[in-house]
Structure 1
Amino acid sequence: MVTQQFVAAPARAALFLVMTVNEGSEEVVRDVFADLSSITRSVSFRVPGDQLNCVLGLGAGLWDRMFDLPRPRGLHPFVPLDGPRHSAPSTPGDLLLHVRAHHMDVCFELSRQVMDRLRGHAVVVDETHGFKYFDERDLLGFVDGTENPEGDAAPAAVLIADEDPDYAGGSYVIVQKYRHDLEAWGALPVEEQERAIGRSKLEDVEMPDAVKPINSHVHLNTVVDADGVQRQILRDNMPFGELGTAEFGTYFIGYAADPGVIEQMLRNMFLGSPPGNTDRILDFSTAHTGTLFFTPALDFLDDVPGPRAGASADDAPADTAPVAAAPGHSAPSDAKATDLGIGGLRAATH
């Protein structure tokens, strides 16, 4: 089994494209799926040292239109969250392209090649160009990445295995675009910024539990299962910004074998844990998008299943997930070994 390159070498540039697919264009999209590996190889061959990598995901609605197959167990529309002070919206998205490399020109070229095939058939609803910022920091000034799983723990956290064998080697990804109020954030003393994050700003050292605020970003993003084992996800966040519009932020992208782990983190942040104890960072960072995708194994894309055979709208699975969206598909620690084709990990979470 060959997986998409969810776990990848550190990138200095990334391009994120979220698209909706026009009704009637499903077969064009199917052809692009089948050719994506070839397109990526063609661009990468010209710049072999740039470590170009493209991951493709598809949303629940597009899955129902394209395939006469049951949905992957964790695939459903992103569940919006409306908390006492902050909200996480659910926004449209049928396709995700997550393109990474050492330089933006390579990301742009691959994305352009794909979009040339999809033009007139898909609409870009969000395009974000991300960049590495100094020593893996976000625009808030903190190192963004430290707790990503490493070694064998990375595929165990990311890859679907025996819990959903028909889709083994795939993963799930949630994306959100956060915009920062840098002026308000910069007015905070460094000590208050550190309490909001739960880490020291210069040294990137996590605060001891005894002094770490319970509304800190680190505390609320620590998810432990019933056996006391911390659940992990793989983040590949990137800063983005436009000087003319003064729009600055972080593009959150998290991969997991079980999207319920990410959903639990988001409930902690936006609804509070305990209820009302929301993430302090949300006072300065606002989520403007939210979409969940299934990212299949390369075997699935290279030999993409055929179209739905005369299915009616009544045959499609329910289009909403339970609001609780409780985790239920944990990745076992003995996940099957697969060909990851990786050169390292990107550290990209607080």
Structure 2
Amino acid sequence: MAREQLGICAEANLHGSYLLCNVLDGQEAILRQKLARIPHIMQRLAEHFSEAMLSGLVAVSSHYWDNLYPWQRPVGLQAFPVLPSEHLAVSCTMADLLIQIRSDRLDVNYIALQQIQQLLMANVEVVEQLSGFRYLDGRQLTGFIDAPQNPRGLKRRQAALVTADESAVFAGGSYVHFYRASLDLKHWQQLTLPQQEDIHGYVKLDAKPLSMARLQPNSHLLCCQLNEQQQLPILQQNMPFAHNSNQGCLHLSFSQQPEHFVRQWCYRLGLNEGRYYDSLLDYYRIDLAAAYFAPSVSFLEAAAHGSLNATASDVY
């Protein structure tokens, strides 16, 4: 049975650290071996600092996957969708690797980052090093509770992890979308509480959905749903960030089926018939975005040892 990486279905933490890296030329063979060691570094540190609830993952971008694992590709792995919309501009990044570390101790994050960077320093260059934090009781910087309808319990695995029925090779892996959304906090804070709640579709205090009589069709809540009762099966691990005059949210989303991401963006941008543009996007600017696949620990180990065999269903 495939073993997923610790960070995919982990519960929320206090601190998040993110590395976006580009791989130097000709490093693929040694990198396959080193990437397989990262989950073991995370597991060892998680056991040593058990109270920190450390977890993490490594994911490979859609544009770099074929360089690293040319014999097999996740069927639905595609670039971050840049959809035609006058409402939102998205700047995509070409970072080859995403490494995420989360825990309840910032010093443990630092130790994990240090060990991983020492492992990879001869093979990659760091494009971005980002940090996120838990704000109040799990809220965004808008003051609203983040992702109140996120899958819980076993539904987290069902939403995020590829099953063996879908792909024997990539079972236990997950499609990942990562983006940084900068918040126009000045203009957001000028809104009244009822205006903010109408935009979100939730009560600010406890994240209960607004009554149907009050719920606006362009609210964030309705624009992210399949229908009035059902959310798209996407697991979110978002964390606020803030430095200098820039602040917002680092969005990390997981799904077993990457088309859910495209579907969600089509809904939010009002590109489907009968759908409205998500008014919350008026207060955000996405200046960094990319699509990745986080393979299982089993896949990483097999690829490091050269023991993977391609199957017709997994080769593109």
Inter-partner Cα distance in structure 2 for 1:240 and 1:145: 16
Aligned 8 A contact 1:174 1:293 in 2: yes
**Residue of structure 2 equivalent to 1:258:** 257
Q: In 2, are the aligned partners of 1:240 and 1:251 still within 8 Å (CA)?
A: yes
The one-character-per-residue Cα deviations of 1:115-147 (angstroms, maximum 9, x if unpaired) are: 112224222222210111111111111111311
CA distance in 1, matches of 2:87, 2:232: 26
Deviation digits for residues 38-62 of structure 1 (CA, Å, limit 9, x no counterpart): 3223333431211111111111232
CA contact 1:82–1:88 (8 Å) conserved in 2: no
3-state secondary structure, aligned to 1:123: strand
Find the partner of 1:125 among 106, 124, 127: 127
Q: CA deviation at 1:207?
A: 1.3
Within 5 Å, give how 1:155-194 maps onto structure 2.
155-161=157-163, 162-194=165-197
Residue pairs, 1:294-313, within 5 angstroms = 294-305=293-304
TM-score normalised to structure 1 length: 0.81
TM-score of the superposed pair, with normalisation by structure 2: 0.90
Counterpart-to-counterpart distance in 2, 1:274 and 1:68: 39
Residue-pair matches, total? 306
Residue 198 of structure 1 aligns with an amino acid whose one-letter code is G
- 1:34-183 to 2 correspondences below 5 Å: 34-161=36-163, 162-183=165-186
Structure 1: segments with no counterpart, 5+ residues:
308-315, 318-350
Query: Following the alignment from structure 2 to structure 1, what is the Cα–Cα distance between the partners of residues 213 and 120?
Result: 53
Percentage of identical aligned residues: 27
Q: 1:113 offset after TM fit, Å?
A: 1.1
Q: In the alignment, is the contact (CA less than 8 A) between 2:62 and 2:77 conserved in 1?
A: yes
Q: Shift of the alpha carbon at 1:305? A: 4.9
SS in 2 for 1:56: strand
**1:198 corresponding residue in structure 2:** 201
Whether the aligned pair in 1 keeps the contact of 2:60 and 2:96 (CA below 8 Å) is yes
C-alpha contact 1:79 1:90 (8 A) present in aligned 2: no
* Structure 1 counterpart of 2:257, one-letter code: D
Kept in 1, the 8 Å contact 2:224–2:232? The answer is: no
Match of 2:20? 18
- Taking only aligned residues, the RMSD between alpha carbons, in angstroms, comes to 2.2
User: Which sections of structure 2, spanning at least 5 residues, go unmatched?
Assistant: 307-314
